[in-house]
Amino acid sequence: MKSFLVGSASLLIALGVASQSAPAEMATSIGAGEGEVNIVAWPGYIERGETDKKFDWVTKFEEKTGCKVKIKTANTSDEMVALMNEGGFDLVTASGDASLRLIAGKRVQPVNIDLVPSWSTVDDRLKNAPWHTVDGVHYGVPYMWGPNVLMYNTNAFSEPPKSWNVVFEEMTLSDGKSNKGRVQAYDGPIHVADAANYLMFHKPELGIKNPYELNKDQYKAALDLLRGQRKLVSRYWHDAFIQMDDFKNEGVVASGSWPFQVNIMQGDKQPVASVIPQEGATGWADTTMMHADAANPNCAYMWMEHTLSSNLQSDLSVWFGANPSVPAACTDGRGMQTAAGCKTNGMEDFEKIKFWTTPVTKCASQGECVPYYRWVSDYIGVIGGR
């Protein structure tokens, strides 16, 4: 996937974000912990053994540092941006469609990687990724990455679906029933990229080179596809646990999803599996970023270092079904993950994933593209049937 790296001034203009405060100065040292750290995180990202006793990477950190970890879960990137704009948080596990907005809006501060000793262990493919690095400055520490998979009910499909068409086009499935009213789609504007990714494969004449960089005609084609999908969708999901309940109890048989839901449902002996279809997939690479006005920066830096420990990365990789940002987590035996498990999760498929990033007007693949604020307003219209 082509990436883009723009200067901070042009990034502000491209995203249409007004500066909210002067940027925080980069820390030069870490002092004593303040006693707590407040984190906005995706569901399942920060576990203290409450869901499953085997998965707890909070308790020992609290005992070691005296920093009490307080978690606020968010189900979409837009919700994360809104929470960070409100303030009161120290850290956020931001995906690429949120991170550049947070940087442009000066809601997060530069991170001094010299204060994160384990930075050297981070996957080289992630160290300078454009979703957290602007003008050579790092605005976070990589956390976890993975694909948006197609989750399906194995009772409705006699074999794994080969295409995303099962959620975009009306058809009769192998159980003899229509897919209409039995599929879901993601309740977030970034889902426009999933439609664009589908069109890249099936309508090459549109000339889409990057699903996040769409001119007016390409964007219109993606919206038209999504309007057609609206007739099939029973619910637009953003809560992972509600989606799992819909698969269990509401007859949903196919949807874009995260490995997290697949793992939990398979552990619960539910008839689900997942696949990356022939068109490929979008995906996410998440970064732990510090609020510009973090009240607990020392505990925040301690947490960022803690997240790069290979045993945490290893166990999180198993729990979430995703890939660690520290490659050693796959092989050093300090956690539950193995080299084979990382391969299954797609550790070798990095180049095949079209990672979430924020659509901007000034794009790399063509002259001018439709910016994210349009995605937001138009996707609301799609969901509303307009």
What is the C-alpha end-to-end distance of the chain, expressed in Å? 31
Is the confidence at residue 26, as pLDDT, over 80? yes
| Sequence-ordered list of residues with C-beta below 8 angstroms from that of 169, at least 6 positions apart, any chain | 228, 232
Is the confidence at residue 1, as pLDDT, over 80? no
Segment 325-362, tens digit of pLDDT:
999 999 999 999 999 989 888 898 888 899 998 898 99
Give the amino acid at 190: I
Torsion 210-8-116-98 (CA) sign:
negative
What does the radius of gyration of the chain's CA atoms come to, in whole angstroms? 20
Q: Of 165, 159, 217, 214, whose CA–CA distance to 192 is shortest?
A: 214
- The average confidence (pLDDT) of the chain is 91
Average pLDDT over residues 115-133: 95
- Domains of the chain: residue spans and CATH: 8-146+284-355 (3.40.190.10), 148-282+360-383 (3.40.190.10)
DSSP of 293-324: T-S-HHHHHHHHHHHT-HHHHHHHHHHHT-EE
Share of the chain above pLDDT 90, in %: 81
Is the confidence at residue 174, as pLDDT, over 90? yes
Average pLDDT over residues 306-328: 95
CA distance 318 to 311: 11
3-state secondary structure at position 85: helix
User: Across-strand partners of 97?
Assistant: none
Higher pLDDT, 344 or 176: 176
Query: In this predicted structure, what is the pLDDT of residue 386?
Result: 63
Give the Å distances, CA to CA, from 112 to 69, 270, 279. 22, 44, 39
- Its pTM stands at 0.82
Token reading at 185: 């789609």
Segment 190-249, tens digit of pLDDT:
999 999 999 999 999 999 999 999 999 999 999 999 999 999 999 999 999 999 999 999
Which range has the worst mean pLDDT, 48-52, 72-76, 259-263?
259-263
Contacts of the segment 266-275: beta carbons below 8 A, 24+ positions apart: 271/153, 271/154, 271/155, 272/151, 272/152, 272/153, 272/154, 272/247, 273/151, 273/152, 273/154, 273/160, 274/149, 274/150, 274/151, 274/152, 275/149, 275/150, 275/152, 275/160, 275/161
